[in-house]
Amino acid sequence: MADSPIRKALPGHRWERVETMRYKDEGSAPFRDITRQVLFREDGLRCEWRYFEIAPGGYSSLERHEHAHAVMILRGRGRCLVGDRVHAVAERDLVSVPPLAWHQFRADADAPLGFLCLVDKERDRPQLPDAAQLAELRRSPEVAAFVRVGDDRDA
């Protein structure tokens, strides 16, 4: 029934009547092996709730925004950059991404990383780091080893 308020869970972290989409358009920002599902984006809500799934070894783009993110790791494990620190994450961990904090999520090489992400429905576009901002981030050896931006430093 299309107008049911319930969308049942399906195998593989999917839901009825929820499209699995590309994370972003190819070439818009460096990323690898990630999908996006918009779970809730309704007129009565001022937020959007999404599910992202990163395949083993994949990563999201390195970016920041003027809006905050509230993230819950739903499956798997990996690491994330928030600001200037890299953190290990696993199922049921909560991650707060403050406004204008650089952030990136990476799945471990042997496990996917699936997470729910709550953001404002009306929000600004992602900001990618310029060369100077990337150089500043890479001053930290831990961050330099972690970030993936599609250049020759990516492992």
Position 87 scores a pLDDT of 98
Position 60 scores a pLDDT of 95
Catalytic residue among 89, 117, 137, 147: 117
Position 84 scores a pLDDT of 95
DSSP the chain: -TT-S---EETTTEETT---EESS-TTSS--EEEEEEEEE--TT-SEEEEEEEEEEEEEPPPBB-SS-EEEEEEEEEEEEEETTEEEEEETT-EEEE-TT--EEEEE-TTS-EEEEEEEESS-PPPB---HHHHHHHTTSHHHHHH---SSTT--
Query: Catalytic: 47?
Result: no
How many CB atoms within 10 Å of residue 144? 13
Distance in angstroms (rounded) separating the CA atoms of residues 134 and 43:
37
Q: In a structure prediction context, what are the per-residue pLDDT tens digits for the chain, which is 155 residues long? A: 568 999 999 999 999 999 999 898 777 788 889 999 999 998 888 999 999 999 999 999 999 999 999 999 999 999 999 999 999 999 999 999 999 999 999 999 999 999 999 999 888 899 999 999 999 999 999 999 999 998 766 65
pTM for this structure?
Answer: 0.92
Distance in angstroms (rounded) separating the CA atoms of residues 82 and 103:
5
